[in-house]
């Protein structure tokens, strides 16, 4: 049974970079799109971007200038880097697998990231 | 961006009731519409994709419908486990966007 698990710091200082990993276990990272989504009370659920297992990416234009998503097939994980964070980036961050482009059918448990000095 | 608007924001109902949640898109998304259920402290869980197809293991009391700009999620007979927040999401155009959610609460 495929499972996803987010990992990374729960606290990030303003202007620094938020970095999260999503480990895929119980299955292959091959042949799927993998996404990052965040949720905050202010903005609700927001798609951040996705990556195809071969490395092709697509980002939300509202975050594109600050986001990088990458994948490490040999280690079965993919990563999110969000640069120059502010308090508005405080949210629960989820990683997910897409059954079809844009359709998230398997989610990690989520991890709360707070941006604060 | 395609704006997704759900109604109502909150719905009070009893076990056994039939309830319907509506989702409207700001432009036509064909049938590229998904519904998710989220319980407190948990990740969203996919219920319906392509407007009307039930994800595997989703009970048949759930059904989805609609196309273009107007969509519905119906629960035919509410069970205690169904009280949660429901979100629609379009995946026809990126950025893929979600509705603001409908909280289904016990009357």
Query: In chain B, which residue's Cα lies nearest the Cα of A4?
Result: B43
The alpha-carbon gap from B98 to the nearest alpha carbon of chain A, in Å, equals 6
pLDDT tens column, A56-85? 999 999 999 999 999 987 879 999 999 999
- Residue A70 makes CB contacts below 8 A (sequence gap 6+) with A51, A55, A78, A79, A81
Which of B43, B95, B98 has the CB atom closest to A109's CB atom?
Answer: B43
Kindly report the average pLDDT of chain B as a whole number. Answer: 97
Summarize the confidence of residues B33-53 as an average pLDDT.
98
Distance in angstroms (rounded) separating the CA atoms of residues A41 and B105: 18
Give percent of chain B with pLDDT exceeding 70: 100
- Regarding predicted confidence, which is higher, A19 or A53? A19
Could you give the angle at the alpha carbon of B95 between the alpha carbons of A47 and B72, nearest 5°?
A: 85
Residues of B in contact with A52 (CB under 8 A): none
Query: In chain B, which residue's Cα lies nearest the Cα of A59?
Result: B95
> Strand, coil or helix: what is B52?
coil
Residue to test with chain A: of B43, B49, B86, B93, most A Cβ within 10 A: B43
> Residue A73: what pLDDT?
79
Summarize the confidence of residues B84-104 as an average pLDDT.
98
């Amino acid at each position: 049974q495929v499972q996803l698990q987010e990992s990374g710091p729960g606290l990030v200082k303003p202007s620094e970079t938020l970095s999260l990993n999503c480990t895929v276990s119980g299955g292959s990272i091959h042949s799927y799109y993998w996404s990052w989504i965040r949720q905050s009370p202010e903005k609700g659920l927001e798609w951040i971007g996705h990556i195809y297992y071969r490395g092709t990416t697509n980002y939300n234009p509202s975050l594109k200038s600050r986001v990088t998503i990458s994948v490490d097939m040999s280690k079965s994980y993919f990563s999110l880097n969000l640069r120059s964070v502010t308090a508005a980036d405080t949210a629960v961050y989820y990683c997910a697998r897409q059954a079809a482009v844009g359709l998230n059918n398997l989610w990690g448990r989520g991890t709360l990231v707070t941006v604060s000095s | 961006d395609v704006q997704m608007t759900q109604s109502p924001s909150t719905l009070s109902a009893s076990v056994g009731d039939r309830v319907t949640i509506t989702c409207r898109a700001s432009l036509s998304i064909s049938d590229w519409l998904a519904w998710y259920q989220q319980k407190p402290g948990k990740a969203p869980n996919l219920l319906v994709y392509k407007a009307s197809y039930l994800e595997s293991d989703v009970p048949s009391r759930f059904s989805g419908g609609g196309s273009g700009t107007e969509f519905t999620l119906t629960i035919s007979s509410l069970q205690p486990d169904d009280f949660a927040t429901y979100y629609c999401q379009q995946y026809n155009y990126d950025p893929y966007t979600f509705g603001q959610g409908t909280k289904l609460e016990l009357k």
